[in-house]
Amino acid sequence: MTISSFRSFTLAILVAILVWSSATHNSCNATRSGRHWRKNRSTSTTLSKKKSGNNHHNGGGGKSKSKSSSHKATPASAPAPPEHDDGGVPAAANTYNVLNFGAKGDGIADDTKAFEGAWAVACKVKGSKIIVPSPYKFLLGPITFSGPYCQPNIVFQIDGTIIAPSSFKSYGSGLFQWILFTKLVGLTIQGGGTIDGSGSIWWKSTPFDDPLDDELKLIIPINGTTGKKILDSSITDSLGGIMPSIKPTAVRFYGSFDVTVTGITIQNSPQCHLKFDNCVGVSVYNFKVSSPGDSPNTDGIHLQNSKDVLIHTTDLSCGDDCVSIQTGCSNIYIHNVNCGPGHGISIGSLGKDNTKACVSNVTVRDVMMTNTMNGVRIKTWQGGSGSVKGIMFSNIQVSEVQLPIVIDQFYCDKSTCKNQSSAVALSGISYERVRGTYTVKPVHFACSDSMPCTDVNLNGINLKPVQERYHMYDPFCWKTFGELLSPAVPPVECLQIGKPSSSHVQADHDSC
């Protein structure tokens, strides 16, 4: 072979090698640049194995689909989940539909165990969501969703209806609540659903010695009739056994932080509808309470030993206080609330059975009261100690409210209460722009003889009478000291300007 021929042969071999190498390289690039390529293939495979063996959404090529489809069957013992939990959105890994845990949602079968099962799983996952879907109705017995070892930021998405048992049997000798959330952080209850406490059986059989709102003593019908109002005869007579000694609150939060309730409706509670006890950081908005005006002791929102609370954009219709603020509460801000029927927004009652009560820094503003017993009220018992201070009621619109402005330091919901000299101290209470119509008495200030109310300021008060079916009265004041910052309608001439010449000085153990 000549040198020339050898060079030609060698060049041909090199060209062939380059062509083969180029073809192989382009083939690999085509595979890597495809839109289904996964950078970390081993990680994807590992994650897909954790999803109950169903990886048909991996989006691979034809061969990958064929292999994955042979492994997509779920175990026979696992519940078959719906393809989508809500609104056609694919279910997230941390979303748990109660239907998948055995709930029937027919309003007849007891779904308590299914809710407990969903909670047991969701509790372990940070930011998890429990779905209570529409249009189902879920019958629940008394139930507790508890921490403190649950992960934070759990969401209850209530779009369906949750109903309480229609008999007393599930409550045994008595429970403080029907649904309890305890020792949780960042819990949110949201959605457009309803929680129904089936309260009519409790109201119908209310004992005659149940406590009554003491302000009833100020509301005397023109015809002189008195006595307890008879409940609507349409309420069922099926009592379902002997009524327990304690009526349950519908929904109670205890010892929790950063709690939110929004969107839902709570109705027909046996007693309080929504209670927060020993909670810090509470937000309630776009929320509704609905119960008859004659349903006894059915407060809308009850606050006790709770701090940093925001309530706004709510509609509260009930048979007692729309919002009740009890001892241990501070930094409470309530605005844009519709109240009625009901007994208004109240601080108290405080100091019962010679107890110490402390409430401070409460603002209630931009509120509409319609056909309520009271408007804005502070009520304390004789014999108590502690203080209520830093209270602002602003821009309160009242319509046919019996008693728009009330301070009552002689509160008593029993037939008789003994006179006592000690009292919860009231100071720094402001009323501004309280306007509208009343049917009994515009202002009622009844303060303690030994501990007069101080720094009670009135500004922009304009209340006009509407003769309805009650006796009408002029403003009343007793041991109430403060300042009229503008002329009041009607004139509140009974308010004593300035400070009392002498008053009982609180002992150190009385101060908050």
CA distance 276 to 181: 10
* Helix, strand, coil share of the chain (percent; to 5): 15, 40, 45
Decide: residue 1, CB within 10 A, 0-12 exposed, 13-18 middle, 19+ buried.
exposed
Structure tokens at 349: 């009652």
Structure tokens at 433: 């722009």
Please name the residues in contact with 325: beta carbons below 8 A apart, sequence gap of 6 or more: 303, 332, 345, 346, 347, 348, 359, 362
Helix or strand run (H / E) with residue 315 = strand 307-317
Other CB atoms within 10 Å distance of the CB of residue 278? 15
Is 273 part of the annotated catalytic residue set?
no
Residue 131 DSSP SS3: strand
User: In the chain, what is the straight-line distance between the N-terminal and C-terminal CA atoms, in Å?
Assistant: 113
CA distance 299 to 406: 18
Q: Which of 424, 476, 483 shows the shortest CA–CA distance to 450?
A: 424
Polymer length of the chain: 512
Indicate which residue of 273, 302, 343, 444 is catalytic.
343
CA distance 307 to 325: 11
Q: Which amino acid is at 332?
A: I
Q: Which of 127, 143, 131, 129 shows the shortest CA–CA distance to 186?
A: 127
Structure tokens at 45: 């495979």
Helix or strand run (H / E) with residue 429 = strand 425-438
CA distance 56 to 155: 28
CA distance 271 to 298: 4
CA distance 283 to 262: 8
Buried b / exposed e along 461-494 (16+ C-beta atoms within 10 A): bebeeeeeebeebebbbbbbbbebeeebeeebee
Q: Does residue 25 contact residue 32 with C-beta atoms inside 8 Å?
A: no
Q: Which of 239, 301, 267, 82 shows the shortest CA–CA distance to 162?
A: 267
Backbone Cα Rg of the chain: 33
Q: Which of 248, 294, 236, 305 shows the shortest CA–CA distance to 273?
A: 248
Q: What is the 3-state secondary structure (H, E, C) of 19-66?
A: HHHHHHHHHHHHHHHCCCCCCCHHHHHHHHHHCCCCCCCCCCCHHHHH
Tell me the catalytic residues.
343
